[in-house]
Structure 1
Amino acid sequence: VLDSSDETYKLLTEDRRIINPLGIFIDAEGNKYVADPKAKAVFVFNREDTMTAIMLRDLGIYPMDVVVRGDKMYVVDMNKMQIVVVNKSDGSEILRFGKKGSEPGQFKYIGGMAVDEDENIYITDKITASITIFDKDGIFVSKFGKPTTGVHDFVRPKGIDVDREGRMWIVDAATGVAKIYDQEQRLLLYFGLPDDGAAGALYFPIGIRIDYDNIEHFRSYAVDGAEIEAIILIANQFGKNKISVYALGTFPQ
C-alpha cells in the first residue's frame, strides 16, 4: 500500500491465504477488495488494513478483477470469462453475464473492467482488441475497437476507467499508450508512448485509475496556474517507473 500523503509504503498483508492477487479496488470508506484467482476468492480489508472477510469461495469462480459500486461488487471470472455481480455485504449472487466466444457480449480474454456512476459496465478484451459496454442489467449495449496499430484502435487493451463526464480512459499494453474516448466512442486524445525512463512515457501499462480525492498530494508538481480536476494513475508492468502520474485540467499557455 502506497501512501502519497506521507510518502510511505507497507505490505497490505502477509496472509498466506492470498496466493496471486491480481485486482484491487478501494471504496469510498477505505475498504479494500483484492481479487485472487488462485485462491478463488475476494479478500476484504477495512480502512485499518485488517482483513474482515474472505468472499465468493462458494461460487466456484476465479476472480481476476473487482469493482464496487454502492451495495454491489462486480467481479471478473477469468475461468468462464464472465462478469459476476454480488451483494458486497454477504456475497450473494445477483447477476452473471458474458461468456467465452466471439459474438457480441462475449469475450476471448478479459483485460480489465470499469463501472461508471450509472452502473454501466465496460470490459476490455485483449485478444479481440475491443471494448464492450453493458447496461446495469448486464444487457449488451455496444462494442468498438479492432486489432490494428491504427491510432483509433487497439493492440492489447488492458486497464480501463470512466471519469465523471463519462469518458473512457484505456491503456494499451502493446503500444504503451493511454487513450481517451467519449460516449460516442470517438477518440479524443492519446498520450504516453513507450520510452523507458522518459518523462510521461509508459512501459507495458496494465492499469489506470482516475482519482479526484488526492489532488493536493500532487499539486506541487504542477506548473503555477494549473487548475487540476483529477489525477490519472497508470501502473506499468516494466520499466523504471512502475506508477506514472498525470494531471487532468487546464494549464497556463
Structure 2
Amino acid sequence: MKPNNIIIFLILAVVLLVSSCSPKLANTETSQPKVFYPAVEDSAKIQFLTFYSYSSNLEEKRSKFQENILGKQTDFEIKKPYGVEIKNNKLYISDVGTATITILDLTKKTFRAFNPQGNGNLRLPVNSFIDDEENLYVVDILQKKIFKYDSNGKYLLNFGLSENKAPSDIFIKDTKVWVCDSKNNRINVYEEGSNKFLYYFPESIEGNDDWLYSPTNIYVSKNKVYVSDMGSGSVKIYTHEGKYLNTVGSFGQNMGQFVRPKGVAVDNDENLYVVDGSFHNTQIFNKEGELLLFFGGATGDRGGQYLPTSITISYDVEYFKQFVDPKYDLKYLILVANQYGNYKVNVYGRIELKN
C-alpha cells in the first residue's frame, strides 16, 4: 500500500472510531421535565415524548475532530410542515415551506429532503400516505394530482387530475384510495393498483346534513370514513360507500366544538382525534362523539401546538419507549404537525400506569 493511501486509511479509521463513540444528539427529551395531559401524573393519559424541527434533533453530532476532517455539520430545518406520516421508523413530512417530503429515518438517523425531478417533481405536497410495500403516495394540491413512488423513491405514476380541484389528503384502505377534494366538496375514491376512478361522495346539495363545505382531511377505519369539514366546523362520518352516519362537533369556541378542524385520526378503540388550527390543540372523542380530553395549546412550550394541521396514530412504539416515564406503559404514538413555532413535529404517547 502506498504511504499516502496508508495515511488516508488511518485517518478514516480514526474518524469512524470517534464517530462510533461520539454522543448521540438525537433529542435531549429524556432529561427534560415530563409533560402530561392531564397534568396530574397518576391520571395522565397522554405524555409529550419528543419533537423534530431540525436535522440536529435526530442526527449524531460531529466531534471537533470530525469537523476538522469533514467540515462543520449543516443543520437542516423543517420549514412549514403540513402533513406527517410514520412507517417502519421513518417519518414522512409534507413540508410546504420547501415543497418537499422530508424523510427522517429514525433507525439510520438520517434527514433528507425528497423531491425528484422530471415527471415526479412536486410543487406543493400537502399530505402523503405509505402503503404496506412502502410505496409513497403524495397529494400535490397545486398540480391537482396524486403522485406515487416506490420504496426507493423512484417515480411510478400520477393520477386524479380529471376528478380533483384541490386534493388535500389521502388514505388507502381495503384496496381503495380515498382522496379528500377540498374545493370539489367531496371524497373521490379510486381502485388501488389500477387507480381507476370508482365513485365520489356525498352526492348531495348544500344545506343537507351530509354535505361537505370545505373538507380538508380524511381517515378511513375498517368500516367508517371520517372527514374534517372546516367549512362546517365539524367532523362528518360516512360508511365506505358514502352513506352519511353522524357528525361530531360543531362550529364554536366551547370544548367539543371547532373553529378550524384539520387532521383527523382514529385509534383501535374508535376514539377520534381532531386537531384544530385555531384552538392550537387536539381534542379526543369516544365512539359516541363525547369529548374525553384535549391536549396541546398555544403555549410555546414543549408539548404545545402552533397552527397544527395533521395528526397520525401509530402502534409501532419500540423506538419511542426511551422517552416514556418509567411508571407508564406506552400504548401507541400520536404525531402532530405544527406549521409554526419551535416544535414542528410533536410526538406524544398514549400511556397507561403500569400494574
Pairwise TM-score range, normalised by the shorter structure? over 0.9
Give the conservation status (yes or no) of the 8 Å contact 1:66–1:75. yes
Aligned twin of 2:126: 22
SS at match of 1:195: coil
Between the aligned partners of 2:234 and 2:132, the Cα distance in structure 1 is 30
Aligned twin of 1:109: 214
1:208 aligns with 2:311: yes
The C-alpha deviation readout for 1:121-145, integer Å capped at 9, x for no partner, is: 1111113211100001101111131
CA-based RMSD = 1.7
Richer in helix (by share): 2
Aligned twin of 2:7: none
SS at match of 2:207: coil
1:239 aligns with 2:341: yes
Greater radius of gyration (CA): 2
Return the TM-score normalized by structure 1. Answer: 0.93
Between the aligned partners of 1:82 and 1:127, the Cα distance in structure 2 is 12
Decide whether aligned partners of structure 1 residues 110 and 100 sit closer, same or farther in structure 2, where only a CA change above 3 A counts: farther
Written as runs of structure 1 = structure 2, the 5 A alignment for 1:169-208 is: 169-196=273-300, 198-208=301-311
Decide whether aligned partners of structure 1 residues 221 and 112 sit closer, same or farther in structure 2, where only a CA change above 3 A counts: same
Q: How far apart are residue 61 of structure 1 and its match? A: 4.3
Aligned twin of 2:323: 221
Q: How far apart are residue 55 of structure 1 and its match? A: 1.7
Give the conservation status (yes or no) of the 8 Å contact 1:25–1:66. yes
The C-alpha deviation readout for 1:170-224, integer Å capped at 9, x for no partner, is: 101101111111110001111111111x1211111100000112x1111111111
Aligned twin of 1:59: 163
User: Percent identical across equivalent pairs?
Assistant: 26
Look up the equivalent residue of 1:206 and give its one-letter code: T
1:5 aligns with 2:110: no
- The unaligned stretches of length 5 or more in structure 1 are none
Between the aligned partners of 2:229 and 2:161, the Cα distance in structure 1 is 25
Written as runs of structure 1 = structure 2, the 5 A alignment for 1:78-157 is: 78-98=182-202, 101-118=206-223, 120-157=224-261
- The unaligned stretches of length 5 or more in structure 2 are 1-102
Decide whether aligned partners of structure 1 residues 60 and 230 sit closer, same or farther in structure 2, where only a CA change above 3 A counts: closer
Between the aligned partners of 2:113 and 2:302, the Cα distance in structure 1 is 28
Aligned twin of 1:48: 152
Q: How far apart are residue 251 of structure 1 and its match? A: 3.2
Q: How far apart are residue 58 of structure 1 and its match? A: 4.0
The C-alpha deviation readout for 1:136-169, integer Å capped at 9, x for no partner, is: 1101111131221111211111000111111111
Between the aligned partners of 2:289 and 2:200, the Cα distance in structure 1 is 25
Look up the equivalent residue of 1:210 and give its one-letter code: I
SS at match of 1:11: strand
1:77 aligns with 2:194: no
Return the TM-score normalized by structure 2. Answer: 0.67
Q: How far apart are residue 5 of structure 1 and its match? A: 2.1
Give the conservation status (yes or no) of the 8 Å contact 1:102–1:108. no
Q: How far apart are residue 100 of structure 1 and its match? A: 6.9
Look up the equivalent residue of 1:55 and give its one-letter code: F
Between the aligned partners of 1:226 and 1:150, the Cα distance in structure 2 is 31
Stretches of 4+ moved more than 4 A in 1? none
Between the aligned partners of 2:143 and 2:266, the Cα distance in structure 1 is 29
Decide whether aligned partners of structure 1 residues 32 and 51 sit closer, same or farther in structure 2, where only a CA change above 3 A counts: same
User: Would you say how many aligned residue pairs link Structure 1 and Structure 2?
Assistant: 250
Q: 2:262 aligns with which of 148, 154, 158?
A: 158
